[in-house]
């Protein structure tokens, strides 16, 4: 298969854990399938030919009864459940649009499962970066995640005509009715139609005359199945949500439909169809709600951040396409690459942009004007979509980070040779590069060369280890936390710089020591254990600690979204239970222990 296929697989876990030569051989075993929209790829109960990987397009997965289980997009895999069970499909797969799929023969897939722990763990237990993340099950979601908060209401003595006008103005189909601040009833479009229009009730009379008194209510802690069962049993489409006697929201059939529809796949589809930057920004504005929904449904942090990053990748590629439409075809091949959290596929609800352009060596001085303009269009578009300009100017708009491949080779060689503070800082950023749009081959060879050179330079590795110890966990005395003592973030801890970043830095060091091509932190930690860079015990402890810290960070951001607050990384330990604080502190202790082991050169505790 072409070289870009190798680049494609290298960006997917667990394929990124394979040695380069083995991954290249594996590429030759995949068969490309071009599937038109609407075609059934396989049906429930049919014998499977192998594992499918989506290269482009969208695939819908349905259960035995035709219920939609998930919507898959590029880099998602499917068919593994049936292959690992009895060789027969456990679901039905349908192309939602024209798709390009890669098919790995069943025998080869099962051989990978047998030979590689990373593949076995990934496909059999659902751990790691889920290749085919499913949307949260509606039946398991909390009502608090489904409801419309602070619903529009009216008083019981409001004239029916005024209540109808309010519903039309707000484009809502129901209206909770209050008496002395408490929920007294609910009126719906059906009440207006059946009782007023068809029943002849005077529209100037009070809405209390047509409302349903003492309606069925649910608590925010109820789950989606409670909503569905209540709606079916009582034949209603609107349920007020009450907590401690106070109306806090309403859940309707529209909310249920929206919860099912607002998946990352649908956002990606909307982005792909957007015609301008304003259209892209309208879609990315939904990311906080998506994050809240995904976290509220119990998804792991690595699944959530992967889905959020996929959206950023799609925005970037759409902006590149828009730029090329405006500027014309590029004069030479190029690669737009991301570093930072987007490069590692670990974006949360707070993200600036970190990116660069790697140009083909054929680029002339005259060609630079084209790429300067392209970088500006894309960077401005990202900023408009909520990915704000990098405060450190680590962007392709900076001429330093828009250079031919030969210059990038000199950059990395110089950083490795010097290993001064600036070189360490830049290496920490640039070792997380991942291609987003353009020619992936421009980065593949560069990464291989750089990893080899860096691993051989023991002084550089030692200084990168020292650099990784600059961010320390927020541990205080007497089993407490070292919170900020003053300022804007008083009494909080920074879950990013003192929580996630220390583990990210350790993962990067392990990748250098083991020449591991993965850039995702979880994949690096797993690769380090597989390669013997860290002991199984120490590595698993660190992985578990990272999972807890990263999950806590996402849950904190989801709470902020729910409260209508600006999303950040600063959490007050008092906002979580004693149980959670105890486990979070234990996680920070593990990180500090692993930092000490890395810094002392004594190896990693088991």
| Confidence check: pLDDT of 12 > 90 | no
Q: Quick check: helix, strand or coil at residue 176?
A: strand
**509 has a pLDDT exceeding 50:** yes
Query: Does any domain span residue 47?
Result: yes
CA distances from 250 to 153, 189, 298, 488 (A): 10, 15, 22, 35
- ∠ CA 304-305-309, nearest 5°, is 120
First to last CA, the chain: 41
Please check whether residue 217 is in contact with residue 138, taking contact to mean a CB–CB distance below 8 angstroms.
no
* Domain-embedded: residue 605: no
Q: What is the pLDDT of residue 525?
A: 93
Same structural domain for residues 363 and 442? yes
- One domain for residues 187 and 278: no
CA distance 257 to 229: 15
Residues 360 and 470 in one domain: no
Residues 504, 482, 300, CA angle at the centre, nearest 5°?
Answer: 40
Task: From 100, 133, 166, give the residue that closes a domain.
Answer: 133
Contact present, 348 and 553 (Cβ < 8 Å): yes
Q: Closest Cα to residue 277, out of 334, 325, 310?
A: 325
Question: How many angstroms separate the Cα of 97 from the Cα of each of 100, 266, 340?
Answer: 10, 13, 32
pLDDT attached to residue 41: 95
- Name the range with the highest mean pLDDT among 111-115, 299-303, 571-575: 571-575
| 3-state SS string for 132-150 | CCCCCCHHHCEHHHHCEEC
Both 422 and 486 in one domain: the answer is no
Per-residue model confidence (pLDDT) at position 126:
37
Indicate whether 24 and 86 sit together in one domain: yes
Give the pLDDT band (50/70/90) at residue 149: confident
* Distance (Å, whole) CA 354 – CA 349: 15
The arithmetic mean of pLDDT across residues 477-497, rounded, is: 88
* Greatest mean pLDDT range, 124-138, 216-230, 339-353: 339-353
Lateral strand order in the sheet of 238-243: 148-149, 246-252, 238-243
The share of the chain scoring above pLDDT 90, in percent, equals 49
Is the model's pLDDT at 258 over the cut of 60? yes
Find tokens 């909520």 and name the residue: 386
Cβ neighbours of residue 105 closer than 8 Å, sequence gap 6 or more: 29, 31, 49, 50
| Same domain for 375 and 507 | no
Spatial separation of the C-alpha atoms in residues 125 and 184, rounded to whole Å: 49
Q: Is 409 helix (H, G, I), strand (E, B) or coil?
A: helix
Q: d(Cα 377, Cα 22) in Å, to the nearest integer?
A: 39
CA–CA separation, 54 vs 52, rounded Å? 7
Tell me the two tokens of residue 471: 């961010």
> How many residues appear in the chain?
606
135-149, 332-346, 563-577: which has the minimum mean pLDDT?
Answer: 135-149
Q: At what angle do helices 277-284 and 301-327 cross, to 10 degrees?
A: 170
* pLDDT at position 134 over 70: no
pLDDT at 262: 54
pLDDT tier, 502 (very low <50, low <70, confident <90, very high otherwise)? very high
Boundary residue ending a domain (109, 133, 157): 133
Looking at the DSSP bridge assignments, the partners of residue 176 are 186
pLDDT at 68: 67
Q: What is the DSSP string of 234-273?
A: HT-SEEEEEETTEEEEEEEHHHHHHHHH-SHHHHHHHHHH
How far is the C-alpha of 590 from the C-alpha of 598, rounded, in Å? 12
The strand order across the sheet containing 40-42 reads: 40-42, 92-95, 59-62, 68-72
Specify the DSSP class assigned to residue 194.
I
* Alpha carbon distance 105, 87 (integer Å): 11
What's the mean pLDDT in 402-413? 95
Q: Quick check: 474 and 589 in contact, CB under 8 A?
A: no
What distance in Å separates the CA atoms of residue 99 and residue 32, rounded to the nearest whole number?
A: 10
Q: In degrees rounded to 5, what are phi and psi of residue 571?
A: -115, 135
The neighbour count for residue 221, using CB atoms within 10 Å, is: 11
Secondary structure string (H, E, C) spanning 454-473: HHHCHHHHHHHHHHHCCCCC
User: Lowest-pLDDT range, 59-68, 161-170, 307-316, 451-460?
Assistant: 59-68
Does some domain include residue 559?
Answer: yes
Same structural domain for residues 246 and 385?
no
Q: What's the pLDDT band for 285 if we cut at 50, 70, 90? A: very high
The C-alpha atoms of residue 24 and residue 384 are separated, in whole angstroms, by: 39
Q: How far is CA 286 from the centre of its chain?
A: 13
CA 394 to chain centre: 22
Report the half-sphere exposure of 400 (CA within 13 A, side-chain side).
7
For residue range 194-244, list pLDDT tens digits in order: 999 999 999 999 999 999 999 999 998 888 878 888 887 788 889 999 988
Tell which phi-psi region holds residue 104, choosing left (phi > 0), alpha (psi between -120 and 50) or beta: beta
pLDDT in tens, 63-96: 776 766 677 878 888 888 888 777 888 889 999 8
Q: Which residue has the higher pLDDT, 542 or 601?
A: 542
Q: At 113, which CATH number?
A: 2.60.120.10
Number of compact structural domains in the chain: 4
Q: Pick from 133, 148, 181: which residue ends a domain?
A: 133
pLDDT for the residue 117: 74
**Mean pLDDT in residue range 281-302:** 87
Give me the CATH number covering residue 270: 3.30.460.10
Residue 165 binned pLDDT confidence (cut-offs 50, 70, 90): very high
Q: pLDDT band for position 2 (50/70/90)?
A: very low
Domain membership flag for residue 253: yes
- Domain encompassing residue 51: 3-133
Whether the pLDDT of residue 162 is over 50: the answer is: yes
Spatial strand order of the sheet with 334-338 comes to 402-404, 355-359, 334-338, 434-438
Q: Are residues 152 and 114 in the same domain?
A: no
Question: Is 233 part of a structural domain of the chain?
Answer: yes
Share the mean pLDDT of the chain.
Answer: 87
The percent of residues in the chain predicted with pLDDT above 70, rounded, is 93
Per-residue pLDDT at 21: 77
Based on the fold, state whether residues 33 and 120 are members of the same structural domain: yes
Say which CATH number the domain at 500 has: 1.20.120
CA distance 393 to 354: 8
Residues whose CB is less than 8 angstroms from the CB of residue 602 and which lie 6 or more positions away in sequence, other chains included: none
Same domain, 233 and 316: no
**Separation of alpha carbons 66 and 176, rounded Å:** 35
pLDDT at position 479: 65
Q: Compute the chain's Rg from CA coordinates.
A: 27
Contacts of 8 (CB under 8 A, 6+ apart): 55, 75, 440
Helices 368-384 and 277-284: crossing angle in degrees, nearest 10, is 40
Looking at the DSSP bridge assignments, the partners of residue 78 are: 52
Cβ burial of 529 (10 Å; 0-12, 13-18, 19+) is: buried
The region of weakest confidence among 193-207, 421-435, 502-516 is 421-435
pTM of the predicted protein model: 0.64
Given a contact cutoff of 8 angstroms between Cβ atoms, the answer to whether 244 and 116 are in contact is no
Check pLDDT > 60 for residue 136. no
- What digits encode the pLDDT tens for the residues 314-336? 999 999 999 999 999 999 999 99
Residues 104 and 588: their CA atoms lie apart, in Å, by 41
CATH value at residue 177: 3.10.580.10
**Residue 431 counted as domain residue:** yes
- Greater confidence (354 vs 113) lies with 354
What distance in Å separates the CA atoms of residue 261 and residue 576, rounded to the nearest whole number? Answer: 31
User: Is the C-alpha dihedral spanning 544, 344, 596, 591 positive or negative?
Assistant: negative
- Domain identity same for 234 and 307: no
């Amino acid at each position: 298969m072409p070289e870009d296929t190798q680049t494609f697989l290298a960006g997917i876990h667990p394929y990124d854990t394979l040695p380069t030569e083995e991954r290249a051989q594996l590429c030759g075993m995949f068969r490309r399938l071009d599937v038109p929209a609407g075609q059934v790829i396989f049906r429930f109960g049919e014998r499977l030919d192998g594992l499918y990987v989506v290269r482009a397009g969208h695939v819908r997965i349905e259960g035995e009864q035709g219920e939609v289980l998930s919507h898959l997009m590029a880099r998602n895999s499917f068919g593994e459940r049936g292959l690992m069970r009895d060789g027969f499909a456990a679901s039905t797969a349908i192309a939602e649009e024209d798709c390009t799929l890669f098919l790995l023969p069943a025998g080869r897939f099962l051989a990978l499962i047998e030979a590689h722990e990373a593949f076995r763990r990934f496909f059999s237990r659902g751990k790691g970066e889920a290749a085919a993340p499913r949307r949260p099950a509606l039946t398991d979601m909390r009502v608090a995640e489904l409801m419309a908060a602070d619903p529009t209401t009216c008083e019981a003595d409001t004239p029916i005509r005024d209540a109808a006008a309010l519903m039309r103005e707000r484009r809502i189909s129901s209206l909770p009715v209050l008496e002395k601040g408490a929920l007294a009833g609910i009126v719906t479009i059906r009440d207006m139609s059946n009782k007023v229009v068809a029943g002849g009730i005077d529209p100037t009379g009070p809405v209390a005359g047509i409302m349903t008194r003492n309606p069925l209510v649910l608590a925010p802690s109820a789950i989606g199945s409670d909503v569905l069962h209540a709606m079916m049993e009582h034949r209603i489409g609107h349920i007020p949500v009450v907590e401690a006697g106070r109306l806090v929201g309403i859940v309707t059939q529209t909310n249920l439909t929206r919860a099912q529809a607002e998946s990352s796949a649908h956002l990606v589809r909307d982005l792909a169809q957007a015609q301008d930057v304003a259209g892209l920004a309208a879609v990315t504005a939904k990311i906080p709600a998506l994050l809240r929904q995904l976290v509220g449904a119990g998804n792991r942090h690595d699944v959530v951040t992967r889905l959020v990053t996929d959206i950023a990748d799609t925005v970037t590629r759409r902006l590149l396409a828009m730029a090329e439409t405006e500027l014309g075809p590029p004069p030479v091949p190029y690669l737009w690459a991301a570093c930072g959290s987007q490069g590692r596929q670990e974006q949360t609800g707070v993200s600036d942009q970190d990116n660069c352009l790697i140009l083909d060596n054929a680029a002339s001085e005259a060609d630079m004007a084209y790429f300067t303009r392209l970088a500006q269009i894309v960077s401005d578009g990202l900023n408009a979509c909520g990915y704000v300009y990098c405060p450190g100017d680590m962007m392709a708009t900076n001429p330093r980070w828009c250079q031919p491949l030969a210059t990038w080779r000199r950059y990395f060689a110089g950083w490795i040779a010097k290993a001064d503070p600036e070189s360490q800082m830049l290496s920490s950023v640039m070792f997380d590069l991942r291609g987003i749009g353009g020619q992936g081959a421009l980065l593949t060879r560069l990464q291989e060369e750089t990893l080899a050179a860096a691993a051989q330079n023991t002084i550089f590795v030692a200084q990168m280890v020292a650099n990784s110890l600059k961010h320390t966990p927020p541990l205080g005395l007497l089993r407490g936390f070292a919170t900020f003592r003053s300022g804007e973030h008083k009494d909080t801890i920074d879950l990013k710089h003192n929580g996630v970043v220390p583990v990210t830095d350790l993962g990067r060091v392990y990748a250098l020591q083991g020449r591991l091509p993965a850039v995702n932190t979880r994949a690096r930690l797993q690769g380090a254990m597989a390669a013997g860079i860290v002991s199984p015990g120490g590595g698993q402890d660190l992985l578990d600690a990272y999972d807890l810290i990263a999950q806590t960070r996402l849950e904190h951001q989801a709470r902020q979204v729910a409260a209508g607050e600006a999303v950040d990384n600063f959490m007050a330990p008092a906002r979580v239970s004693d149980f959670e604080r105890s486990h979070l502190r234990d996680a920070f202790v593990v990180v500090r222990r692993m930092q000490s082991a890395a810094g002392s050169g004594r190896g990693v505790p088991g």
